[in-house]
Structure 1
Amino acid sequence: MRWWNKKRPEQRPKEKKSPAREWADAVMFAVVFASLIRWATFEAYAIPTPSMEKSLLVGDFLFVSKLHYGPRTPMTPLQVPLTHQTIWGTGIPSYSDAIQLNPYRLPGFSEVKKNDAVVFNFPAEKGHPLDLKTYYIKRCIGVAGDSVAIRQGQVYINGRAATKPDGLQFSYLLKTDRVLNESFFSDRDITDSYRTPEGYIVHICPEKAQQLAGLDFIREVKRQLAAPQEAEAGIFPQAPDLYKWNKDNYGPIYIPQEGATVAITPQTLPFYEKVILEYEHNENAEVRDGKLYIDGQEANAYTFKQDYYFMMGDNRHNSLDSRYWGYVPADHIVGKAVMIWMSLDPNGKLLDRVRWDRVFSSID
């Protein structure tokens, strides 16, 4: 063939892809697209525990918006797409922590506000990178710079009684004249209960407690409240000799704010030790003999590098939250829960398992 008859490369017919190659390209595109959507806009989340009842129920499936507070840039890039901690259906880790990137947050629609239902990475968890810690969902009670206190179960923010979310639950003791069967609780939508020698402990809202008190076979409905100055094991900051607090009588406690400086004393160090050593990314910080040292020098004051939040469950007597493990750092915030797209009753029968009244409902 003469050189002037040769077809230029762009004139040659394109090589046709095999069906397997076309499927592989389509799957790759779908995975990349889904990963971008999941990272930057919305992610699905399931409610695994009753700590947010009755606002959110076990079996609710949520959409969590990353757009509200701004999506975080990836911190653990070596990860199987569309996984969290393990590969689906196995115990095999889905990531390598050989490379860890500093977190940054893109601009969002709003800041975290009081009473938002917030999904975050559980701060106290060990063994996983920050962005792969287990997801928790709680209600934001206080934001950075606030002072939080609880008196006889009532939350106070900066000295004022906080607004109570709809569906807020507490623990009550039911004393009855007869044995209550399972249908008694299911017919009244009481999903969190157990029997004691005195009667039945149920987690319900005050309105339902009033209804139960009107039944002729219920002798007493008594709200369970811990007494002031009664130290409860495990309550943050885990210093019962200094602070005799419990889940119903707590604080006041200051929520750290970026740029704020606090004095470090034997009385304040228990509040901020974990923050400074674990959440503030200080490489040369340590506590020795009850004193804080940074870069080998004793520190009598500390300035915070990021904001923090105080989270609590709406099921106030059946929730492990900031009252037990402390503050949630800003870089642990994942997004805002905005919608229930499906709700399945784990105890429901086949035809009644879907809670249709909750499907596609917004979250307050």
Structure 2
Amino acid sequence: MSVQSLLGNFALILFVLMVVTGVIWFLDVFFFSKQRRARADAALAEFDSRAARLSADGIKADAGSAGGRAALESKLLKQPAWIEYSGSFFPVIALVFFLRSFLYEPFKIPSSSMVPTLLVGDLILVNKFTYGIRLPIVNKKVISINDPQRGDVMVFKYPKDMTVDYIKRVVGVPGDKIVYKNKRLTVNGEEISYKTLPDFLDDENLTYYKQLEENLTGVDHKILNDERAPSFVPNPDNFPHRELCSYNAEGFACTVPPGEYFMMGDNRDNSLDSRYWGFVPDQNIVGKAFFVWMNLGNLKRIGAFH
């Protein structure tokens, strides 16, 4: 399932706006404002000289001459509109760029591959520094902090299209042996435990799905199974490290290569994930999803999730 940010390539747009407004702000502080000050000083000197000549000739200055001088100075020092707006927007744009690049970034859930954990329309926050500090735009890690853990809900760049953000749950970390047989997970030979929950009603399709609580090596979360869907993976891609995976009528088995992760959606039979298009390299990671901050159709959705 793809996750769209609030605007298409918003990070790049924001960066360009920050650079443009920042350059204008810098030029105004260190160049344009000094030019305006010099012009104002010259005009005020001429104003004062004229007033002095009139006084010497016995001509009394207008009562409003002092106000005229102040008005003249204010007019000459006033920033042009394009500089004024740029200077006002620059700190705001810079703050937003810093927050969403290094701290938290908002995303919107557009499809149902993470149901029941995340619903269509959920507006979520992603922690950008949990897994390390990355340079914005190029997404290059410069400081390592933590590695993704099994059970994390993670946003990452879709390996087949780096302009698209996806969200899935981390099922396998580097070196793990993942087996998915008859819709049940085994990790490194350890069978994952499941607890049956009441069936889940899909309001959009008016369909019930089997709902389970899965304990993924210590992380409890809900998943859905569609009993009408087959256990096998139809038509997996020829992805990198495809030789580390084997497929059969009951499911598949994969060994996760170094520096990569195996991702699956919680809506197991309605999710295009690592079963189909392969592993997620570390350099594709965007951050850890952790909070629903708004769902306009259901305010009860607001809160943390795991």
Spell out the pairing of 1:141-152 with structure 2 (5 A cutoff).
141-152=171-182
Q: Which has the larger radius of gyration?
A: 2
Kindly, what percent of the aligned residue pairs are identical?
Answer: 30
Contact map agreement 1:232 1:244 (CA 8 A) in 2: no
The Cα of 1:119 is off from its aligned counterpart by 0.2
The Cα of 1:25 is off from its aligned counterpart by 0.5
The Cα of 1:17 is off from its aligned counterpart by 3.9
- Structure 1 residues 231 and 27 mapped into 2: Cα distance closer, same or farther (>3 Å)? closer
- Structure 1 residues 70 and 166 mapped into 2: Cα distance closer, same or farther (>3 Å)? farther
CA–CA distance in structure 2, aligned partners of residues 136 and 165 of structure 1: 27
CA–CA distance in structure 1, aligned partners of residues 115 and 158 of structure 2: 19
CA–CA distance in structure 2, aligned partners of residues 19 and 166 of structure 1: 67
Which of residues 69, 77, 95 in structure 2 aligns to 1:16?
Answer: 77
Partner of 1:191: 203
Partner of 1:256: 257
1:115 aligns with 2:151: yes
- Structure 2 length normalisation: TM-score? 0.63
CA–CA distance in structure 1, aligned partners of residues 77 and 195 of structure 2: 60
Higher strand share: 2
1:60 aligns with 2:122: yes
Contact map agreement 1:147 1:255 (CA 8 A) in 2: yes
Q: Deviations over 1:164-222 (max 9, x none)?
A: 699899xxxxxxxxxxxxxxxxxx7423537xxxxxx6444159xxxxxxxxxxxxxx8
- Structure 1 residues 59 and 335 mapped into 2: Cα distance closer, same or farther (>3 Å)? same
The Cα of 1:32 is off from its aligned counterpart by 1.6
Unaligned runs of 5+ in 2: 1-37, 42-72, 214-225
Unaligned runs of 5+ in 1: 1-8, 77-101, 170-187, 195-200, 208-221, 258-306, 345-352
1:362 aligns with 2:304: yes
Contact map agreement 1:47 1:58 (CA 8 A) in 2: yes
Partner of 2:227: 223
SS at match of 2:141: coil
Higher helix share: 2
- Structure 1 residues 358 and 334 mapped into 2: Cα distance closer, same or farther (>3 Å)? same
Partner of 1:213: none
Q: Match for 2:227: what amino acid?
A: R
SS at match of 1:53: coil
Contact map agreement 2:260 2:280 (CA 8 A) in 1: yes
Partner of 1:40: 102
Q: Match for 1:332: what amino acid?
A: N
- Runs of 4 or more above 4 Å deviation: 12-15, 163-169, 235-240
- Structure 1 residues 75 and 43 mapped into 2: Cα distance closer, same or farther (>3 Å)? closer
Contact map agreement 1:236 1:323 (CA 8 A) in 2: no
The Cα of 1:123 is off from its aligned counterpart by 0.5
- Structure 1 residues 244 and 312 mapped into 2: Cα distance closer, same or farther (>3 Å)? closer
CA–CA distance in structure 2, aligned partners of residues 310 and 168 of structure 1: 28
- Structure 1 length normalisation: TM-score? 0.53
Aligned residues: 223
Q: Deviations over 1:49-75 (max 9, x none)?
A: 100000000000001000211231135
Contact map agreement 2:194 2:212 (CA 8 A) in 1: no
Q: Match for 1:55: what amino acid?
A: T
Which of residues 82, 91, 107 in structure 2 aligns to 1:29?
Answer: 91
CA–CA distance in structure 1, aligned partners of residues 280 and 198 of structure 2: 21
1:326 aligns with 2:278: yes
1:245 aligns with 2:188: no
- Structure 1 residues 19 and 55 mapped into 2: Cα distance closer, same or farther (>3 Å)? same
